[in-house]
Amino acid sequence: MPALTVNGVDIPVTPDSSEDEPLVVGDRFNAFAGNLRLSETARVRKFSFVTNRMDPTQYATVYAALATFGPLACSGDALPASVTSCAITLQGGPFGNDGAEIDRVIRFQLEAVSP
Amino acid sequence: MISLNGQQQTTLEGSHYSVHLRIEVEDAAGNWVDLTSAQGVDFVNGLDYGFSVDQPIPRFTAYLQRKHGDLSLEPLDEDSLLNRNSSTGDYGALVDIGRRVRCWTATVGLTDTPGANDWILVVDGRADRVELAGEEMLVIGRDRIGALVQDRWIEEPDEELRVYGTDPGQLSELTIQAILDDWADGEVLYTPDAPTSAFVPTYKPPQQPVYQATSEIARKANRALWPQYENGAWRMAYVPVDRTKTAIDWTFGPEDYRDVTRLDVDVTYVRNAFIFTWAGGTSTLENNTSIARYGRHPLIITEPADSPIDTEAEKDAFLAALNSDLADPIAEQEIETLYWPAGQLNDLYRFLPNGVHYTVAQDWAATGFQHSLRRDHHRTRISARGKPAGAYLAHHQNITVTDDALTLLINDAKWTPPGPALPVYAGTGRFRMDLTLGKIGAAVRSVKVELLLDGVAAQQPYYQTLPDGDDPKIRVRISETGLFSDPFGNDGHGSEYYVTIGTGDWTVRVTPYSRSVTDLGLNSTTDLRNLGINWTTEDQLTEGEAGNPGEARSAPLGEPVAEGWGSTFEPHRPGGPPVGGPDEMFIAGTTLIGRPALDFDQEAITGRPQIRMRAPYVNSAVSGVWTPEYVNGPVQGVDLFGDTTILPPADILPGETLHLHIRTNGHDFSLGGLFVVPEGLRVGRSGKCHANFVCDPWGEVSGLILSNMLPEAAA
């Protein structure tokens, strides 16, 4: 199984990708008696990815998949099994001339609502 | 309390649960659009909503993300796919005023997904206002039915045709329904225990809002009329008030709530001696226990001849209800807890001892709920107090006042702005009015504001209950069509807030309503305190000076006070600091005689300075002589309009204080500014009065008169 697939496109991510602090939609406080009270509507897990260096053709395909607006179909070993839908925020990335062609790297953050 | 299914009951009894919010709006074709999944995007940021015994019409504010990618809720974005009429495909704003808004919440287990039966319709509303400026849009509105009955009026001008009830008496729910049929689109009244035992004889309600008329019938029937959620829908419910209720609806312990955010014991609204005059004579009910504890606080009520209270039994029941609601408030408490959507007014809750605020359990009735849902915040504030009640503050309003008493009130509180005498905008100006009401006597509970043209009501009056607090303020806007409130603090720089002033004599009339008839006795010298009206021209709004008298500007003598006419005045404010700027205007009541004191700098002022009054104005409807006078003699015959320059009868000596009397002879009076110019000079420069009223002799003295005004007796 690929490490990450977005909208049917395999994304060549590097091993040093990471999971960030999740965003918890909810509330929590200590009650007057000291006990914890909390509500939680959703937990948004955030993953930071960096792609491998890609040639222009692959870059175009991957970029198009990642830049698609709206909820995206997401899966892969890098994500929890429960995650099937995600949103992508592109964060840019370096590119360079490695020989005859310009290779590029894309950094992006993937957010997925997870129970 | 809202009926809960087993799952909801179990969830809310726990300490952890998830809260889900869904908001729907009606699109241009009347179809519902779920804003949590509009075009696959969740635009909902949050929701506030709440209601209380004295403000029972639920109000809400929905917080929406204005834009997501190319999708925008901005109503004027004609390219957004959201702004489409779902029937025709043409442009049609999705979010707009007047549209229905439905808000649903669900509370389920932390890892559960809400099912269809888990959702509670917490708001069935209508958008009154949409704020579009920021990244977050605000949709502000009220309960749909509540808004209808609040906005609609009994409009029939002919009193003989404005008749409801029957003789000897019509079931009160039928009378209310008849009013709703005539003026509120036939909205169906829900009466859970119909038929009631309250009857309404033939009577002629005044032209007034439908809700005011119908809720008054309910109050006198010892019932309540408010929107209520039941069986999945909100209805206008005519509910009995069980003042002897003992069954506990819910128990809150210190492990449930975050804090007790308010716990007051207040004597302000206590009434314990009820003197009630009606068709059968005068009856008195005294609660000696309450009198012994709080002192005697009478409530004197005079019923009109056609009151629905026309039998001994009805009178006794009404007095008993007043006694139950007002004689012993016990305490008012507010707790903040995790979002708890199940509450309704007059639920009875048990608050267990928490070791700090009370040592035995307290059983109190719910008086209000304020819910706030955000992405990081799911809270409910619950107010509770004493026993279940039909009303608290509404009992204090002078709803039984006669027309004669009302007229007296109008006279006492009348304020007349300069009409045809306006220096710049006479005849053509467009004006905005901000009305700030402070303490107008402790008795005043609410006010009616009217805009009159040549003594005739030009628009529908506006009623406003004063908010609680030591210094309640309201803001009233003038529009082309009527007066309305601006409760949200918007500065109202839009053109819709103006009215075009013609050539007539415009009058703004403020009528305070008391908590009871005998509490009134208002007169402007003793009870009209901290009343401020900011009467501002369009130009000043543009310059951003309105409502900020501290930054209002002065002008060289010989020039208009400002491009327009701005004013903020505070008559009779003993001991208060001088407020306002050069454009201040003093509006006296009918009997106020002022005596401003001008202290002159010892070195700079000598001789006989000019004292100029900017456009003094006396209500043109009367022909009395306006007489300014000095301590050592009156000066007669001063022009009533335009600037007036007068000289003291004698030289001013260094350090001397000049007392300037302005006697209005009982007529309305206004003054745009008071200027003191040293002898021989023609142009003053800007200057400010200081706290001790010593004014820059080279500048203009203005505003001083307003804060140093004393009634004749005190002077």
Residue B104 is inside which H or E element, if any?
strand B100-108
Q: Check if the beta carbon of residue B556 is closer than 8 Å to that of residue B683.
A: yes
Weakest-pLDDT range from B169-178, B319-328, B376-385, B480-489: B480-489
Tokens at residue B697, please?
């002799």
Residue B646's φ and ψ, nearest 5 degrees, are -135, 155
Classify residue A35 by burial, with Cβ atoms within 10 Å: 0-12, 13-18, 19+.
exposed
pLDDT of residue B184: 95
pLDDT of residue B52: 87
Of residues B238 and B435, the one with the higher pLDDT is B238
pLDDT band at B669 (very low <50, low <70, confident <90, very high): very low
pLDDT band at B420 (very low <50, low <70, confident <90, very high): very low
Among B376, B379, B381, most A C-beta atoms within 10 A, so best to mutate, is B376
pLDDT tens, residue by residue, B221-252: 889 999 999 888 999 999 998 888 999 999 99
Q: Check if the beta carbon of residue B418 is closer than 8 Å to that of residue B565.
A: yes
Chain B interface includes A37 (CB < 8 A): yes
Residue B314 is inside which H or E element, if any?
helix B312-326
pLDDT band at B145 (very low <50, low <70, confident <90, very high): very high
Q: Exposure pattern of B304-339 as b/e (b: 16+ CB <10 Å)? A: eebbbbbbeebbebbbebbbbbbbbbebbbbbbbbb
pLDDT of residue B439: 41
Contacts of A33 in chain B (CB under 8 A): 253-255, 354
Weakest-pLDDT range from B215-229, B461-475, B537-551: B537-551
Query: What's the pTM?
Result: 0.62
Closest Cα in chain B, distance from residue A84 (Å): 15
Please state the rounded mean pLDDT for residues B183-197: 90
Among B67, B259, B378, most A C-beta atoms within 10 A, so best to mutate, is B378
pLDDT band at B458 (very low <50, low <70, confident <90, very high): low
User: Is there a contact between B258 and A41 if contact means CB atoms under 8 Å apart?
Assistant: no
pLDDT tens, residue by residue, A13-69: 988 788 888 888 899 999 999 999 999 888 889 999 999 888 888 888 999 999 887
Q: Check if the beta carbon of residue B443 is closer than 8 Å to that of residue B548.
A: no
Chain A interface includes B359 (CB < 8 A): no
User: Is there a contact between A33 and B253 if contact means CB atoms under 8 Å apart?
Assistant: yes
Decide if pLDDT at B84 tops 50: yes
Closest Cα in chain B, distance from residue A101 (Å): 33
Please state the rounded mean pLDDT for residues B633-641: 42
Decide if pLDDT at B142 tops 90: yes
Closest Cα in chain B, distance from residue A12 (Å): 26
User: Is there a contact between A37 and B256 if contact means CB atoms under 8 Å apart?
Assistant: yes
Report how far residue B676's alpha carbon sits from residue B607's, in angstroms, rounded to the nearest whole number: 12
Decide if pLDDT at B163 tops 70: yes
Mean confidence (pLDDT) of chain B: 67
Report how far residue B549's alpha carbon sits from residue B566's, in angstroms, rounded to the nearest whole number: 8
Report how far residue B676's alpha carbon sits from residue B612's, in angstroms, rounded to the nearest whole number: 6
Report how far residue A31's alpha carbon sits from residue A38's, in angstroms, rounded to the nearest whole number: 10
User: Is there a contact between A27 and B256 if contact means CB atoms under 8 Å apart?
Assistant: no
Q: Check if the beta carbon of residue B440 is closer than 8 Å to that of residue B473.
A: no
pLDDT of residue B386: 81
Closest Cα in chain A, distance from residue B245 (Å): 28
Among A23, A39, A68, most B C-beta atoms within 10 A, so best to mutate, is A39
Residue B11's φ and ψ, nearest 5 degrees, are -60, -50
Whether complex ipTM tops 0.85? no
pLDDT band at B27 (very low <50, low <70, confident <90, very high): very high
Q: Smallest Cα–Cα separation from B105: which of B174, B47, B175?
A: B47
Chain A interface includes B111 (CB < 8 A): yes
pLDDT of residue B608: 63
